[in-house]
Chain A
Amino acid sequence: MDYALVLIIQALSSIAMLILISIGLAIMFGMMKVINFAHGEFLMIGAYTSVMSVNAGVNFWVATFIVAPLSVAVVGLVVERLIIRYLYGRLIETMLATWGLSLLLMGAVTVIFGNTVTGISAPLGSVHIGAYSTSIYELVLIFFAAALTVGSAVFLKMTDIGLVARAAMQNPDITAVLGFDPNRIYCVTFVIGAAITGLAGALIAPLTGVSPGMGLAFVAKAFITVICAGPAVIVGSALVATTFGVVNTIVTFVATPVFGEVALLLSAIVLLRVMPNGLTSRFKRGAL
């Protein structure tokens, strides 16, 4: 019984990790069809700024929720104004330019901060579940992943800004005719996506550690999750992450971590074969 509960928590934790690393990219991709291959580096910068703030004495929660997202938002703004702005609509070009950006950011961080940044420990300690113990922070991550998903969906559906963003996503020309500047909307959306990614990076930092190359471990999975999600990016990403997380956890428990990873990748292929336009391609038009 305890073991079953632990297993469920483990699966939820895997799902939460996938959601956290994907949701910023989902917003960027869903809104503007921008595949940001520097996504892993945005996560990395968020993690770095959070860790370095904490090492400098800032409170962990302030560093995670304020410093990290703000820093990455600034980076996102610079990147958008200098590079992405000229490449909207050109899917392959944005992918390649952001690939270059990813190399550039990794190199820059290595040169500036070197490779020896001490990480931070997960706060909040652990809790016992029968004979097992699990980190409370892991549970907190599950909560935040859910909160971010719901929050993004609510923001887009219920607020005015969200409405305008969705309109620009569906039809930029009409939106422009109605008086809203699509370029500004894209810029704001990119920056918000970057900020959320920075937050995600800061949230996972206590568990994964920081290094200039840490983003590489996440970018492929985030990319695959977002593409498989289909047009309704938020709901799609959450559903896809759930599928992947469950498959990964079960196979890892039954076999080895290697097979768990392979199973996750195989399920992506099966998913795309069955639903070539993503998981949510059959959803009602205009859904999130």
Chain B
Amino acid sequence: MGMMHRRTFFKATTGIVAAPFISKYAFADDTIKVAAIHDVSGVLDILGKPMASMVAMAIDEINQAGGLLGRKIELVNFDTQSNNQLYGQYATEAATRYRVAAVFGAVTSASREVIRPILRRYKTLLFYSTQYEGGVCDRNIFCLGTTPGQKTVKIVPYAMKKFGKRVYTVAADYNFGHIVSKWHKKVVEENGGKFEGVEFFPLEQTDFGPTLKKIQSIKPDLVMADLVGSNHIGFFRQWTAAGMSGRIGLASTIFGTGNEQLFTNPAEHNGILTSATYFPEIDTPQNKEFVARAAKVTGTDRSPINELPAMSYYAPKLWAEGVKAAGTFDRDKVIQALEGNLTYNGPGGPVTVDGKCHHVSHDIYIAQAKNHSFELLEKYDQLPPSDTAAVCDLAANPNDTKQYVLGN
């Protein structure tokens, strides 16, 4: 019995080991393949899962409308399990084995930087939908996420007008946090305020006590909180527990993208200002319909469609616009078409490509968290990606591949 145990296990193991090499998929020749690479499981799944669903929904809609250039689009989904090593493996597989026409994906900046050189090497177009620190200058990528330059320049003055001129920042301790905090300082000082300092928290930080006491001793009017991840939600909890709500203003450029308004209680989040290019609360018939469709697709998953999944829906649609304008799926022609400042009119508003830096102009909303959702306060139309545009000119330097560090 012991031996049977081991023998059958041995057989099973051989089977599993051999499977990837034995099974060869046969694909119909008239479909075009695209890939979606996201963290659908693991610690980043709260971001990755809705993003992957929205890419799938967009592709479905394209197919239901008759496909692209008469061809059906086939989506290959990869779950990177919050492990950047798998990003490298799956990107290579998508590009060299499936030979996809485009890749939609990467959730964090770290994962984007893993796949960007790989996809460039294998000449496969990449669309990145997460809001990030800006500065990526690469002809093979189109970034649909908002960047600090687009949001900080509007929300910081708005928050300063509401709460006061002395500003302190707390940010997640990695590239995004460092760059966005530099933007805070810049914009605060440009608007006649005083930047009192910044504190960075590692992503695993759960105890914010010392910093809260530091803030209490500095007594700023406003705290900009650009925190990332579920551990950082503790900051808002402990802030309220320490009695600081209402006494010092709180604002953020990213609150809500991690669904923080769902995890905290109204006492903890009511009044926090945030900004994004998309909120499900945008009140147009087009958007209401989109939200309803999305709810059906995501099903029992309670995550609202915030900016990240929304831009993940926009990405395939934008790519489709490029393909239609170019009349072909060929990467170089599609890039040229998109560089003609193509616009996609999304359910939440239009996005227009800036051909020279491959980022997009967004409508930017300022909103206030209220009872587990957001109340929209102000809207700015089509703000250009000025921060990246200032350093990146792909028309002059088409072989640029650098990520510039902005905010200096």
Q: Which positions in A face B, CB cutoff 8 Å?
A: 3, 6-7, 10, 13-14, 17, 110, 114-122, 125-128, 131-135, 137-138, 206-211, 213-214, 216-218, 249, 252-253, 256-258, 260-261
Contact = CB atoms under 8 A, between A and B. Distances in A.
B242 A135 contact: yes
Contacts of A207: 234, 237-238, 241
Interface in B204-219: 204-207, 209-211, 213-214, 216-217, 219
Contacts of B321: none
Interface stretch (B39-47, B275-283, B361-369): B39-47
Contact of A206 (B200, B241, B244): B241
B75 to A, nearest CB: 23
Interface of B: 41-43, 45-46, 49, 173, 199-202, 204-207, 209-211, 213-214, 216-217, 219, 230-231, 233-234, 237-238, 240-244, 259, 262-265, 267-268, 300-303, 372
28 contacts: A3-B217, A7-B213, A13-B207, A114-B300, A115-B49, A116-B301, A118-B262, A121-B241, A121-B264, A121-B265, A127-B243, A131-B216, A131-B219, A132-B213, A133-B242, A135-B243, A138-B241, A207-B241, A208-B237, A209-B230, A209-B263, A211-B43, A211-B230, A216-B43, A218-B206, A253-B214, A257-B173, A258-B202
Nearest to B41: A110
Contacts of A133: 216, 242-244
Contact of B242 (A117, A120, A126): A126
B10 to A, nearest CB: 21
A134 B242 contact: yes
Contacts of A6: 213, 216
B216 A122 contact: no
A4 to B, nearest CB: 11
A138 B209 contact: yes
Contacts of B213: 6-7, 10, 132, 134, 253
Contact of A10 (B42, B209, B264, B301): B209
For the complex of A and B, the 6 pairs showing the least CB-CB separation, nearest first, are A126-B243, A135-B241, A122-B241, A211-B230, A133-B243, A115-B46
B292 to A, nearest CB: 19
In this complex, the member of B43, B45, B237 whose beta carbon has the largest number of chain A beta carbons within 10 angstroms is B237
Contact of B264 (A119, A131, A211, A253): A119
A17 B241 contact: no
Given A257-B200, A257-B205, A122 B240 contact: yes
A13 B243 CA distance: 16
A99 B244 CA distance: 39
Contacts of B243: 125-128, 133-135
A260 B204 CA distance: 13
A3 B216 CA distance: 10
A116 B240 CA distance: 21
A213 B302 contact: no
A114 B301 contact: yes
A110 B45 contact: yes
Contacts of A128: 243
Given A116-B302, A206-B241, A258-B200, 13 more contacts: A110-B41, A115-B46, A118-B263, A119-B233, A121-B240, A126-B241, A131-B219, A207-B241, A209-B231, A210-B263, A216-B43, A218-B206, A257-B200
Nearest to B238: A207
Nearest to A206: B237
A81 B117 CA distance: 50
